[in-house]
Amino acid sequence: MIEQLPAIVLLLPLLAAPICSMIHNGDYAWYLAAASCWLAAAAAVGLMAQVWGGHTISYHMGGWPPPWGIELVIDELSALVVILVTVFAALVISALRESLRPKMRKHRHSLYYAAYLLCVASLIGITVTGDAFNVFVFLEISSLSTYALIARGRDRRALIASFRYLVMGTIGATFILISIGFMYMVTGTLNMADLAERLPALSDNRVVQASFAFFTVGVALKVAIFPLHLWLPNAYAYAPKATTAFLAATATKVSLYVLIRFLFDVYGLEFSFQQMRIDLLLIPLSIAGILIASLTAIFQTDAKKLLAWSSVGQLGYMVLGVALLNTAGLTAAIAHMFNHAMIKAGLFLALAAMIYRVSSSRLDDLAGIGRQMPLTMAAFTVLGLGLIGVPLTAGFVSKWYLISGALDKGWVPLAAMLIGSSLMALIYIGKIIDVAYFKPCKPEHAEVREISPTILIPCWVFALMSIYFGIDTRLTAGVAGRVAESLLGISS
Amino acid sequence: MLIAALGLPLLGGVLVSMQSQSPNTRDICSLVTAVLLFLLVLGFYPSVLAGNNPTLVLAEPIAGLGLKLTVEPLGLLFATVASGLWILTTIYGVGYMRGNSESNQTRFFFCFAISIAAAIGIAFAGNLLTLFVFYEMLTLATYPLVTHKGNADARRGGRTYLGILLVTSIGFFLFATLWTYAITGTLDFREGGILSGHVGPGTAMILLTMFAFGTGKAALMPFHRWLPAAMVAPTPVSALLHAVAVVKAGVFTILKISVYIFGVDFIAETGAGTIVMWAAAFTLTAASFVALTKDNLKARLAYSTVGQLSYVIVGAMLANAAGIIGATMQIAMHAMGKITLFFCAGAIYVATHKTEISQLDGLGHKMPFTFAAFFIGSLSIIGLPPMGGAWSKWFLLMGSADAGQWVLIGLLLLSSLLNIAYLLPIVGRGFFRPLPADDAAHASANTIQEAPLNCVVPLCVTATGCVALFAFGGAIYDYLLLLFPKT
Amino acid sequence: MFTALFNYWVVIVLMMAGLYIVMASGHLVKKIIGLNIFQTSVFILFISMGKVAGGTAPILKDGISVFSNPLPHVLILTAIVVGVATTALGLAIAVRIYEEYGTVEEDDIAEMDNHDQDLDIAEYQRIESGK
């Protein structure tokens, strides 16, 4: 049983998805979907327990050893990402039933849950697989289910957002496919460990370099690295309420995981950073992304768009951490991946609860909601403080490492810029909190009441996690630190 | 024991919040917690006097950098001041809040307790990170107190309050902290400082300047605006803000950083404190002038606080024994004096609902205790014997003389004169001017009298404290010599 | 060089043509067609890669020693399935867009969206200034 965990965590949601689509009753489908998510989450925690301390599990699908069979590889980094995906997916789906209820005809619910589960399964697949082509396939499954989820949004603009994302996402994924084809051309393998062995010898080969270029652009699109982020704000803003919480938490983070995995493990540190100097590209882009996205967020009049733009900025932090190429920076990137997923999922969920009540995410409709829905707004505030990076919240820890990373390089202006961008976060989060607590409530929302516990409890779980991981950081920064050292080839 | 010192007010806060239905139990809870905390803090003295520094690591969110509490002489003194005055503020707060029948009293006392926990955390912080954490906690916990009234004014004031404090602390203080960490690899408060030998005079000056301005709570100009803005708060809060917790936490932070991060000798050698010292000198003079122009009693006291805080900063930047001792004493002495003045202002408000100085004519006869206490508090702030404030001013002048800063001595004396000019006329109005004619009729109708006992007793106690501190000046001096093992 | 590698030239031409259509056309269905052409070019790339000159199909049978590499072909089968799914989903969304907007021209849709957005902002400003 224990040795089968890597397969179980992947197959649970993958098999539950088609079953879900066949169940006609939306409620039963929800029970199945939620149960499989929670079980997968438990399995993910079990995986983490097995690899804790820096071990690696290699699981051969169907008993076929690589390179013939498909290998699942789990180390601390992938276990952390799997926990991120499954736990947050489980928390969000717990809230999902309530938020879907009024909007969608009931028999459609099952299909919705099926798409959701497919997305979860494929994100897990991307993370645990040891096969480059599998990455592409799972990436496409996750993208396709994401497009479908987004298109179900409350507003017709969701359709356009989904379509644009589909076009850009497909181009990105096809770029990755081209890149994988090139790699296979010169190495004759698709197994990531084998690729990592054979690619360094071919570092002067132009096909390898071309594959690197295609890969970077393709993944950058998926990660939404500035300036390839254009699909993200609208996709997040118009996706159905609680779904945004799941997407914001997982999709881009998993893509970032792919980026880290390929840059450091498959192509190798020397090739990516010393020969191709990818850091020279990523650092300016991430800085521009942080500043421009944060600034744009400040000027949004729609809370959901505001948070979406903030996501672009926060992704910039993670990419910057990767590109800094030192232990502190990489620790920050990986820890922030987890922390930001948690915080942003919670924020979107709390916001979803408010939208559920007032049927709008415009700031002026949220006026005074802090008094109508005190518990939801309190959770939002706690999470917002985490996003800003107030001490004793998870956001503080990752920002601390990031700024330390910048200072370790001796880049004082960059550190100052990061502090400045935190202040920008203070402004845009402050804007929502200010509206919610201090503006008088619109008369038509005078009857608005607190949301039901099914949504409120997940919100608070996120909020409390954000505080817990600001104090006990063994799972986040601890793992991230070990992973960073092993990725950078520093033995501790 | 350390964890108890931190946990006690938190626990008290939780108990208070659970007792919202029965105000009497709730207020007794507050009071008992306050007294217990004070006794607990006193309990640290024997071991600190014996030269021990009890230490406790709470958690380690960042590898090698924990949330650490350490008791050392400077922090213990601050903790004593904060917890001691908390008792009085609680008694007074109960009287004030009930006297004015304010709403949301439970939230008020809850946040109050959290603020004190944060202040104790600041006092006992064992490294800069811990200090920063509790510093921010204090900011956030006092915010609901400042905006307690909930009207447009309160919100505007609250926004300024939060805005300046958060922006300066994140923008400068946190940045300087991280920078220090990157340079030295540690943030521990150590005797003699941690920066010495790692940085040159230029960087040291930049860092110290960032720390000083980043400590928005110390209200160095131009970051003093939040203090007058926070005057919208109920008076016990103002007392808490201006005397006990917030501003003192600010100057205490600067003092602690000067002593334990930079080291007194290091500052003296490199002259790193020059910018901050002159900024503080400017602030203390300018604030006194501004105070002269204010007719609102609390606004005048607020600007007076801005000025008095800069005395502490000047003392810290002088970087010699007399300066540091003077600065530390100033924290205690000013706390006692200023809290008296705020208690008086609050008592006047409770009894007569008057807020402007020009309305106070003749009230001294109606409220003799209040005005007498105000007089004593004023004398202490000005620095005249036989009040505690005399000692701190004396040591600060000695420190300036030791450092050869003659211009500074001139400014300190000028500011003292200004203190006289803006404080004593208030008392003069109360005692020597007649009640205004229309008000006299009014007063005879429903006689103005002293505020409730809950308000008057604390202010008499603090006024007595001002006198008592004069007597204990020597003892405090001996105690503070612990900071300078060599001299 | 041109004739020897002509299959790769075809790949490049198709790829560029496909990308151009995606970018240049405002018609959503045409965009999807462009996307398809773009993906097809990559399929051809993979298939050419696996072809061994003179090789036959990879069948385990006596007398067959030279055969094409089957793996890329298998991979591309998967990729084709993915491509078909993408096309189907894209078209489905296009249909829904047509139902909602009454057009599949990007410019027209953008105009309607901007109009909605302006209304939103106007509403916000009205309330901001009103209070």
pLDDT at C128 over 70: no
Q: Could you give the angle at the alpha carbon of A377 between the alpha carbons of A373 and A383, nearest 5°? A: 160
State the alpha helices, DSSP H only, in A52-156. 76-100, 106-128, 132-151
How many domains, in total, are found in chain B? 1
More confident residue, B422 or C120: B422
- The answer to whether residue C124 is domain-embedded is no
Nearest to A160 among C49, C72, C109 (CB): C109
The CA distances from residue B45 to B38, B336, B475, in Å, are 12, 20, 13
How many domains, in total, are found in chain A? 1
Cα separation, A357 vs B76, in Å, equals: 50
pLDDT at C96 over 80: yes
Q: Mind telling me how many Å the CA of C63 is from chain A's nearest CA?
A: 24
Cα separation, B121 vs B244, in Å, equals: 14
How high is the mean pLDDT of chain B?
Answer: 81
| B136 and A CB contact within 8 Å | yes
Residue A345, both tokens: 């999922």
- The answer to whether residue A347 is domain-embedded is yes
> Cβ separation of A184 and C35 shorter than 8 Å?
no
Q: In the structure, what pLDDT confidence band is assigned to residue B428 with cuts at 50, 70 and 90?
A: confident
Nearest chain B alpha carbon to A402: B178
Over the stretch A120-165, which tens digit does the pLDDT of each residue have? Answer: 999 999 999 988 888 999 999 999 999 988 888 777 888 888 999 9
> Cβ separation of B61 and A422 shorter than 8 Å?
no
Eight-class DSSP state of A449: -
CB contacts, 8 Å: C100 with chain A: 156, 159
CB contacts, 8 Å: C73 with chain A: none
> Cβ separation of C90 and A301 shorter than 8 Å?
no
Nearest to C28 among A136, A163, A190 (CB): A163
- The boundaries of the domain holding residue C22 are 6-57+65-104
Over the stretch C2-59, which tens digit does the pLDDT of each residue have? Answer: 677 788 888 899 999 999 999 888 889 999 999 999 999 999 888 888 777 777 777 7
**CATH number, domain containing residue C30:** 1.10.287.3510
Strands A71-74 and A57-60: antiparallel
Strands A71-74 and B55-62: unpaired
- The answer to whether residue A420 is domain-embedded is yes
More confident residue, B454 or B204: B204
The CA distances from residue B50 to A251, B5, B268, in Å, are 59, 20, 28
Pick from A433-447, B314-328, C82-96: least confident: A433-447
Q: Mind telling me how many Å the CA of C61 is from chain A's nearest CA?
A: 21
- The answer to whether residue A253 is domain-embedded is no
Over the stretch B378-419, which tens digit does the pLDDT of each residue have? Answer: 888 888 877 888 888 888 888 888 888 888 888 888 888 888
- The answer to whether residue B149 is domain-embedded is yes
CB contacts, 8 Å: A439 with chain C: 131
- The answer to whether residue A11 is domain-embedded is no
Over the stretch A307-362, which tens digit does the pLDDT of each residue have? Answer: 999 999 999 999 999 998 888 899 999 999 999 999 999 999 998 888 888 877 88
Nearest chain B alpha carbon to A409: B182
How many domains, in total, are found in chain C? 1
- The answer to whether residue B298 is domain-embedded is no
Task: Please report the number of interchain residue pairs, chain A to chain B, with beta-carbon separation below 8 angstroms.
Answer: 62
Residues sharing a CB contact under 8 Å with residue A65, sequence separation 6 or more, in sequence order = A71
pLDDT at B476 over 60: yes
Over the stretch B50-70, which tens digit does the pLDDT of each residue have? Answer: 777 777 777 777 767 778 888
Whether there are 3 or more C-beta pairs closer than 8 Å between C and B is: no
Mean pLDDT to the nearest integer, B344-363: 80
CB of A314 closer than 8 Å to CB of A321: no
Phi and psi of C102, rounded to 5°?
Answer: 80, 10
Question: Which pLDDT score, from 0 to 100, does residue A294 have?
Answer: 92
Over the stretch A399-425, which tens digit does the pLDDT of each residue have? Answer: 889 988 888 888 888 888 988 888 899
Mean pLDDT to the nearest integer, A254-268: 90
Say how far residue B38 (Cα) sits from the centre of its chain.
17
Helix, coil or strand: residue B175: helix
How high is the mean pLDDT of chain A?
Answer: 87
- The answer to whether residue B194 is domain-embedded is yes
Pick from B83-87, C112-116, C118-122: least confident: C118-122
Q: Is B361 left (phi over 0), alpha (psi -120 to 50) or beta?
A: beta
> Cβ separation of B170 and A422 shorter than 8 Å?
yes
Q: Mind telling me how many Å the CA of A423 is from chain C's nearest CA?
A: 24
Eight-class DSSP state of A228: S
CB contacts, 8 Å: C14 with chain A: none
Q: Could you give the angle at the alpha carbon of A73 between the alpha carbons of A71 and A77, nearest 5°? A: 160
Over the stretch A109-125, which tens digit does the pLDDT of each residue have? Answer: 888 889 999 999 999 99
> Cβ separation of C35 and A171 shorter than 8 Å?
yes
Nearest to A364 among C86, C113, C124 (CB): C124
| B149 and A CB contact within 8 Å | no
| B63 and A CB contact within 8 Å | yes
> Cβ separation of C42 and A178 shorter than 8 Å?
yes
CB contacts, 8 Å: C131 with chain A: 439-440
- The answer to whether residue A373 is domain-embedded is yes
Over the stretch C43-72, which tens digit does the pLDDT of each residue have? Answer: 988 888 877 777 777 777 777 777 778 888
pLDDT at B441 over 60: no
pLDDT at B445 over 50: no
Cα separation, B278 vs B286, in Å, equals: 12
Eight-class DSSP state of A442: P
Question: Among A294, A327, A338, A392, which would you mutate to test the B interface (most chain B Cβ atoms within 10 Å of its Cβ)?
Answer: A392
Question: Which pLDDT score, from 0 to 100, does residue A175 have?
Answer: 93
- The boundaries of the domain holding residue A353 are 280-492
- The answer to whether residue C121 is domain-embedded is no
Question: Which pLDDT score, from 0 to 100, does residue B325 have?
Answer: 86
CB of B147 closer than 8 Å to CB of B106: no
- Other CB atoms within a 10 A radius of the CB of residue B181 amount to 22
> How much is the pTM?
0.87
Cα separation, C69 vs C52, in Å, equals: 7
More confident residue, B43 or A379: A379
- The answer to whether residue B64 is domain-embedded is yes
Whether there are 3 or more C-beta pairs closer than 8 Å between A and C is: yes
- The answer to whether residue B466 is domain-embedded is no
pLDDT at C89 over 90: yes
Residue A119, both tokens: 């997305």
CB contacts, 8 Å: C109 with chain A: 160
- The boundaries of the domain holding residue B221 are 1-265
Q: In the structure, what pLDDT confidence band is assigned to residue A257 with cuts at 50, 70 and 90?
A: very high
Over the stretch B134-185, which tens digit does the pLDDT of each residue have? Answer: 888 888 888 888 877 777 778 888 888 888 888 888 888 888 888 888 888 8
Question: Which pLDDT score, from 0 to 100, does residue C131 have?
Answer: 46
